[in-house]
Structure 1
Amino acid sequence: MPLLGLVSEYLGFFALLAAIVLVWKDSPWQKGTKVAATIGAMALLGAVLPAPPEDGAATVTAEADGKAAGGGSAAGVLAPASPTAGTTPEPSPRPRPEAADYRGMTLDDARDRAEAAGFGVDEHDASDEDKSIMMRLNWTVCFQKTGWTSSGTKTIDFGAVKNGAPCPAADGGAIPWPTMPDLVWKTWKTAHQEVAALGTVPGDHIMASTAYLNDQLPDEGEYDDWRVCVTDPAEGGDVTVDLRVTLELTHPDNGCPDPDREDGDRPDLPDRDDDGDPDYRDPFPGDRNRTSAFPNGLTGGSDDSSDGNGGGGGDHWNCPRTRWC
């Protein structure tokens, strides 16, 4: 019987039952002897039987055997991991709170509306210049980002730029300022329209000046056809907010100064009589006592003699090369 138990627990068990039946049925032994023999046989069989597997191992073995019987492979089959007792699972990320789209609004208005909607509001310069924000009314919202505080308050952070400035491609990036176009030899009227169309400089910040030091602009509206010689900033330069653009002009009868002159100063137009007025607009280029500002003036000097022609005398009425004579 022990040998059969070593071969198979089932054979050993059936052999034990058969032996017990024979002892109690056909054996002439006394009852006490039969009881002792029965207990000894059971103890001997228990000694040779293998120990039963633990519950977890039995479960895995049974599952592996079942898969093998069904034609599947038990190799690589793992029991699902169970969370460690007492470990708190990590909370899933909290979704961002919903917010209205405040982009394009002045920072002042955006803050008021966001605070009314229950947000804690923060703000920053959206450009790479990282300027401090003063006068929120003068800033425009480009970007917004919502979130939560540790105490559960919903927040919104605004990235803004100065009014009139274009938004960067990304928060914290460079502002894509428009650049000064090529305006040389275009009329003042055309050049003024092109600069204003850039959108960063108001019309009253576009100034006209003369390209020549001894020249003078006529009254406003009378130099619309004058030509641009020099721009400040130069062609390709950034045209930023609050910048004052200067266009140096010349009368279309004159050419522009040499752009490569070494001194960098504005040159003078020809002035033969050296009276401060360039020849092109001086009605008396040979008389340094006559200027375009006072073309009908009189020559200097006078005396008390009368020539009989209505008062005054002598040199006072001596007016060669003037419109009076």
Structure 2
Amino acid sequence: MSHPPAPPTSPHPRRWLTSRARVGLVLAVPLLGLVNQFLGFFVLVLAIVLIWKDNPWEKAAKVVATIAATALLGAVVPDPQGKDAGGTVARADGKGTAHGRAVDAVTSASPSPSPTVKPGPRAADYRGLRLDRAREKAEAAGFGVGDHNASDDGKSIWMRSNWTVCFQKTGWTWSDTKTIDFGAVQTGAPCPEEDGGAVPWPKMPDLVWKTWKTARKEVVDLGVPADHVLADTAYVNDTLPDEGDYDDWRVCVTDPSADSDVTLDAWVTLGLTDPRNGCPKSDREDGDRPSLPDRDDDGDPDYHDPFPGDRNRDSAFPNGLPRGSDGSGGSSGDDDWDWNCPHTRWC
């Protein structure tokens, strides 16, 4: 017995509803994107998954639907603020007025605050105090105290009573204990411009041809102790008169030389000459200290030798006692000279 033929097939109703649902989901993407861009993006991802999974559509239709869904969401989502948006904005100046000016980016949102840094604890100003005294005061105020050399000379601090505070910096430990760190230099030295910098030592001035009295005062004014300023002769065969008698002698050379650093422990020597003499040439090549003329070669420069042409007498015996004389009228040599003649200024 034969069965009647089956009726013609029609599209599967469930598949057809699924296709319509997919189309509706694509169209819902821009609508939900207007409400919330993150919600629109989520629905876009869901629509793309449903477009490509178990969908009888042709591949070309799937591609078109994907592009359309993405384009629809992009059309309704605003551009990120501050990106590629040129224009003119008004900025308030310090007087409260505003000036329009072209800018490359506009941002209406206030900048996000920077991470909060806990300020250091407040402390008294200990700068200028002797380091040991500053430490005592800071410790009494409840600080954990540290110290270091504030200059670049690399010296270690070993007697805090001989150091002076130039810089101080406060902070906190991980356990919220307040701390202070002192940067110090040796007492008497000037503070660097910044912590760890070079000490700005005073420079040796050019003192050539200034009197001993004037030059010595200039050196002492630099901070050099008066007993660290020494007088010497510029010529090897010259002799300084008694102290106070060479105040008007002139400076020819200094040690340290002009423009050198005058450090805390410096000793300064000024090479002097009688103003009747000029200074020795500075371009000598022999390296030795120069000598003044001494015609009779008796060790006394001619400029103060009363007998510059007589080898038998020198300035140590201005009354004419000849060399070799025993001072009693006789002579210890072969010559039997009278105490005052010959070879005396009385003859």
- What CA deviation, in whole Å up to 9, does each residue of 1:104-129 have, x standing for no partner? 11112111211121111111111112
TM-score of the two chains, using structure 2 as the length reference: 0.63
User: For residue 286 of structure 2, what is the aligned residue in structure 1?
Assistant: 263
Provide the residue aligned with 2:151 in structure 1. Answer: 127
1:143 aligns with 2:167: yes
SS in 1 for 2:165: strand
Correspondence 1:244 to 2:264: no
Which of 228, 248, 263 lines up with 1:205 in the alignment? 228
Between 239-248 and 149-158, the greater mean CA deviation after superposition: 149-158
- Alignment partners' CA distance in 2, 1:107 and 1:274: 59
Per the alignment, in what secondary structure is the counterpart of residue 217 of structure 2? helix
**Equivalent residue, structure 1, for 2:303:** 280
Q: CA deviation at 1:315?
A: 2.6
Counterpart secondary structure, 1:193: helix
Unaligned runs of 5+ residues in structure 1 are 1-47, 51-56, 65-72, 79-89, 307-313
SS in 2 for 1:229: strand
Alpha-carbon deviations, 1:252-281, whole Å to 9, x = none?
Answer: 000000100001221111111111111111
Aligned to 1:218: 241
State the match for 2:52 in structure 1: none
Corresponding residue for residue 113 of structure 1: 137
User: 1:298–1:319: 8 Å Cα contact kept in structure 2?
Assistant: no
More divergent stretch after superposition (284-293 vs 135-144): 284-293
Output the CA distance in 1 between the equivalents of 2:80 and 2:274: 93
Task: List per-residue Cα deviations over 1:20-65 (Å, max 9, x = no partner).
Answer: xxxxxxxxxxxxxxxxxxxxxxxxxxxx9x9xxxxxx99x66xx9x
Match of 1:317 in 2: 339
Query: Does the C-alpha gap of structure 1 residues 224 and 303 become closer, same or farther in structure 2, counting only changes over 3 Å?
Result: closer
State how far apart, in whole Å, the 2-side matches of 1:302 and 1:99 are.
Answer: 80
Alignment match, 1:170? 194
Amino acid of the structure 1 residue aligned with 2:178: K
What CA distance in whole angstroms lies between the structure 2 residues aligned with 1:271 and 1:76? Answer: 100
* Structure 1 Cα separation of the partners of residues 293 and 342 of structure 2: 23
Secondary structure of 2:122's partner? coil
Alignment of 1:1-325 (within 5 A): 75=78, 92-199=116-223, 201-296=224-319, 298-299=321-322, 300-301=324-325, 315-322=337-344
**Rounded Cα–Cα distance in structure 1 between residues aligned with 2:119 and 2:289:** 64
Q: TM-score, normalised by structure 1?
A: 0.67
Deviations along 1:179-219, one digit per CA (max 9) or x if unpaired, are 111111111111111111222x1111111110000001111
Q: CA RMSD in A?
A: 3.3
The structure with the largest alpha-carbon Rg is: 1
Structure 1 residue 74, shift from structure 2 partner: 8.2
Q: How many percent identity over aligned positions?
A: 69
Deviations 1:129-165 (A, max 9, x none): 2211121121111111111112222111111111221
Q: Deviations over 1:274-313 (max 9, x none)?
A: 111111111122233333233236233579999xxxxxxx
Q: Contact 2:327–2:339 (CA<8 Å) still a contact in 1?
A: no
Letter of the 1:317 counterpart: W
> C-alpha distance in 2, partners of 1:256/1:91?
69
With over 3 angstroms needed to count, the CA separation of the structure-2 counterparts of 1:106 and 1:76, relative to structure 1, is same
Offset of 1:228 from its aligned partner?
Answer: 0.5
* Aligned residue pairs, count: 246
